[in-house]
Amino acid sequence: MSLRFRLLAAIALCGALLAPAGPAVSEPGSWIDPPKKLPRVQRGDRTNNLDFLFGALKVAPDEASSKSIEERIWALWLVSKSDTA
């Protein structure tokens, strides 16, 4: 039993030593900068804004843009003009 344990421990140790190590941190300069001009908050009728956003969500070309539109919809829904809400 102890010979089998030593053999498995030796194999595990060799595997751990020979496994390629990945980078611990990302390389400098690989960060994505935020856009220079951020979109402004739309004022006006809230239902028109929601209708526009739902229309944009329907024709969104990819998952990233649809996620962004979804977040804007949630932001409009969660805004309350009540002091007690």
- In this predicted structure, the answer to whether residue 69 has a pLDDT above a threshold of 80 is yes
pLDDT at residue 5, rounded to an integer: 75
What distance in Å separates the CA atoms of residue 62 and residue 46, rounded to the nearest whole number? 25
What global pTM score does this model have?
A: 0.43
DSSP 6-69: HHHHHHHHHHHHHSPPPPSSPPTT-PPPPPSSPPPPP-S-HHHHHHHHHHHHHT-SSHHHHHHH
Asked if 69 contacts 55 with a C-beta cutoff of 8 angstroms, the reply is no
What are the structure tokens assigned to 58, written together? 């329907």
Give me the residue label for tokens 């980078």.
23
pLDDT at 15: 64
pLDDT digits (tens, 9 = 90+) for 20-49: 665 556 666 666 676 677 666 656 666 668
- Res 9: pLDDT: 79
